[in-house]
Structure 1
Amino acid sequence: MIDEDISWLKDLSQGKETAFKRLYDLYYPLFCRFAMQYIQDEEEAKDIVQDVIFDIWHHRKAMDDIRSLRSYMYKSIANKCIDTLRKAKVKGTYLNSISEGSDFFLLKVLEEEVFLTLREAIKRLPSPTNTIFELSLEGHSNLEIAQLLELSLDSVKSHKKRGKKILYHKLHLLLLLLLQKN
């Protein structure tokens, strides 16, 4: 390091504003171009360089330990750029997970609404068609439903077929809306 740099660092560590102004005027454009190699956003790169210059001014009393201000600044700017990129990646991942979480939540709400609408429509079906659909939703097979209600298997199938037609006519608009959303 040459004597002029030593003198300049000494002035900077003593808080002389002329040394700070020289640092800013001499290195700011150079370091902004350097930061742009990491960060593709010019404003973000400028902010990073300004933060590093401010940090140097803020911690100027510790400048006596620095051998090369330029090397120190390059390293500081590179580290700050990497931290910024890391935070942006974490934030992006977080935002994506929030977005995915909210999509999942909305899907669950929609599912519940559809299920409740379907249940209400089933309750309004004529008897025993409504009972057959309720038992079917509970997981009973056609044969089990026939045995529980003491009906023939063909009668259960016939009621289900009629019920599906009625439900389709009542709920087809809802189904169309759901299919359009996906």
Structure 2
Amino acid sequence: MLSLKEEILLLIQRALRGDETAYQELMANYYQRIYALIYQIIKNREETEDLVQDTFMKAFRALPDFNPQYAFSTWLYKIAYNNCIDIIRKRKLKMISLDHPIREDENQSPLSSEIENEEPSPEETLLFSEKQKHIQKAIEKLPEIYREVILLRHQEELSYEQISEILCLPVGTVKARIFRAREILKKALKEI
């Protein structure tokens, strides 16, 4: 049985030979993660959809340049992240508050506050929801250099090395920023 990395490399080889199904499979494998990353930065569904499509188009055009020594996901995240930075610079977008988590509709609770647990009590649910709001507010108040590494590390669950590649920073700098961000968050959350 092939590892995930080997399966992805085979899909890339097929895509390079013009196999449309391989392109579709690659996109299906990474669509949700790329969407989530872009949405966390852009906070606008329409622009996120456009940027996701643009990310995959750029990635597929640049596929011959992909270096298989690196993780495909990291390479794709970097393209997505750079797209976000480009659009922010071009349109001078203001970041929307992290107080507005992803919702499917207005009557639904934020996706970030939903947990799969063995029937939590209403009190537990309320406490968790309040805690999430406090955490989101604290993250929102972080300087951007700390906020971006915290989101990539804890929301996208990327390794230090992957974050380093995406942000073009030394691994030591990434670790230092994450450490500093956690310290700021701990202090902010203690006061609540």
Which bin holds the TM-score, normalised by the shorter protein? 0.3 to 0.5
Report the TM-score, using the length of structure 1 for normalisation: 0.44
What TM-score results when the alignment is normalised by the length of structure 2? 0.42
- The structure carrying a bigger helix percent of its residues is 1
Larger gyration radius, structure 1 or structure 2: 1
